[in-house]
Amino acid sequence: MRPHVWIAGEPRLTRKHAEVRAPWEGKLLGLVGEADDALVEEAVARAHEAFKPASRLPAYVRHAFLLAVARGVAARRDDFVSAITHEAGKPVSFADAEARRAVVTFTLSAEESTRVDGELLRLDHAPLGAGALGACARVAAGPVLAITPFNFPLNLVAHKLGPAFALGAPVVLKPAPQTPLTAMLLAEVVRDAADEASSEHGLEPSLLRAMLSVVPCAVPLAERMVRDPRLAVLSFTGSAAVGWRLREIAGRKRVLLELGGNAALVVAPDGDATQALDRIVPAAFGYAGQVCIKVQRLFVPRTIEREVTDALTERVRALPVLDPADPKCVCGPLIDARSAARVRSWIDEAERMGARVLAGGAREGNRVTPTLVAGAGAGMKLHDEEVFGPVLTVHPYDTLVEAWRAVNASRYGLQAGVFTRDLGTVAAAFRELEVGAVIVNDAPTFRVDGMPYGGVKDSGYGREGVRYAIDEMTERRLLVLRGFL
């Protein structure tokens, strides 16, 4: 098919298009349409028009629709794995895991579509409320604008579409420019699921088809949608700088931001250092570190610093950068040469300021070898910012109080990992660490799709995880009944 976008479930040819190339070898993978002003306006208008009838669909219809989407993703898993591996440069085993997770996310969304309940309220706690009853319902706030990143082009999209579809809220999706082909494939699956559910329940297909538009577009057009009051919810995953700017211009929208981090892992004095090492390598260097909860800062007791550093150095030096299609690949290319150049420049800056590169750090094109750095500190970008690349910094500490303070000395707070067998240490970590989640005896990369997920400080605003995203996309509406009791 010629370059196109999707408007209310229908492919629409475009006048402009962009090339999509594979990060590994630069191969042309395909052409994707770019929406212009008119197509963006039509996508927003169709979502706005479809909202009321779609949000009034019975829960069993929304449930059937989402299950059909889940089945469609499962049936085309190989296609999704190929698309993710090639256009995102994600190792094939990681891409397969993402496709499997997306099936879970849509299935959980189907289940939650039947649980969007309210509550009955007693109002007779004051004389005025005697004889009155309150019924509080959760209702969809309105159509959703979803803006998604390149690194999880299927499952992070599913985390926005699934909860919205569970509420009957149409979505306008603006995918990352690096990975639009996965979104286009998902649009086909959603269209087919809409037709299947419509046929099953005797509906006109256009209503469920209108649940999704996919509009790759220029930044000014994306910002126009952010400002447009017809889209009542903005769900954004990406960089902190962009996310907070979008919140500033979003007006009265409900805004859900999942942003970056420089996640820490603390090995407590009683923690299993060997177990931690086994988790650190894939958690720090998997997918070239292009994961917002990847391990960036490792804190170890000073008494075992040399032992841990030597073991890590050996493991990091042995980890190659491979073709993402190779089943053995853990660390592949960065998404583009500009990202690799930025990572290398941050390593250079850290070395100039006194840090030491213990392993890796070589750059060729968009590939940076897994890098281990000692001596990084405040004022270095490798320490203060989100590297989003295959770099790990190691930091010794003398007391856990010192470790908690060092973890918190960041403008980010997404997730942190702690290896310990001591419940007192677990309690202290949970009490002291300023993060959205504390992961015990695993890396901060741990995430299952039903759990509340999100950060504090510059790492975000609100929570994802299907049920929690539904909460973010709903408003409470109260009915007060008098004279019926």
CATH number of 328's domain: 3.40.309.10
CB 334 within 8 A of CB 340: yes
Q: Which domain holds residue 439?
A: 264-448
CB 371 within 8 A of CB 350: no
In a domain, 453, yes or no: no
15 and 30 share a domain? yes
The CA–CA distances, whole Å, from 111 to 200, 211, 244 equal 18, 18, 32
Q: What is the pLDDT of residue 473?
A: 98
Annotated catalytic residue, options 87, 196, 258, 386: 258
18 and 149 share a domain? yes
In a domain, 89, yes or no: yes
CB 393 within 8 A of CB 434: no
79 and 191 share a domain? yes
Tally of structural domains, the chain: 2
282 and 415 share a domain? yes
Cα separation, 379 vs 355, in Å, equals 11
221 and 268 share a domain? no
Q: Among candidates 266, 275, 336, which has minimal Cα distance to 301?
A: 266
State the residue for tokens 């007060």.
480
Q: Over 90: is that where the pLDDT of 43 sits?
A: yes
146 and 295 share a domain? no
Kindly report, residue by residue over 243-279, the tens digit of the pLDDT: 999 999 999 999 999 999 999 999 999 999 999 999 9
The CA–CA distances, whole Å, from 157 to 170, 171, 258, 271, 355 equal 14, 11, 12, 36, 38
Q: Over 80: is that where the pLDDT of 41 sits?
A: yes
Mean per-residue pLDDT, 138-166: 98
In a domain, 454, yes or no: no
Annotated catalytic residue, options 87, 196, 217, 292: 292
Q: What average pLDDT does the structure give for the chain?
A: 97
Sign of CA dihedral 200, 201, 205, 211: negative
Q: Which ranges of 288-411 would DSSP assign to H, the alpha helix?
A: 305-317, 337-352, 381-384, 400-408
CATH number of 471's domain: 3.40.605.10
Q: What is the pLDDT of residue 485?
A: 72
Cα separation, 348 vs 373, in Å, equals 11
Q: What is the pLDDT of residue 102?
A: 98
CA angle 358, 361, 364 (to 5 degrees): 160
- Weakest mean pLDDT among 122-131, 342-351, 397-406, 428-437: 122-131
pTM above 0.95, yes or no: yes
Q: Over 70: is that where the pLDDT of 1 sits?
A: no
Cα separation, 460 vs 177, in Å, equals 22
413 and 471 share a domain? no
202 and 332 share a domain? no
178 and 102 share a domain? yes
Cα separation, 170 vs 209, in Å, equals 9
Residue 258 catalytic? yes
| Confidence grade of residue 484 (pLDDT, cut at 50, 70, 90) | confident
Residue 292 catalytic? yes
Kindly report, residue by residue over 172-201, the tens digit of the pLDDT: 999 999 999 999 999 999 999 999 999 999
Q: Over 90: is that where the pLDDT of 224 sits?
A: yes
| Run of H or E residues at 397 | strand 391-397
368 and 244 share a domain? no
What SS3 state is found at 123? coil
Cα separation, 237 vs 257, in Å, equals 6
119 and 134 share a domain? yes
Q: Among candidates 322, 320, 295, 294, which has minimal Cα distance to 92?
A: 322
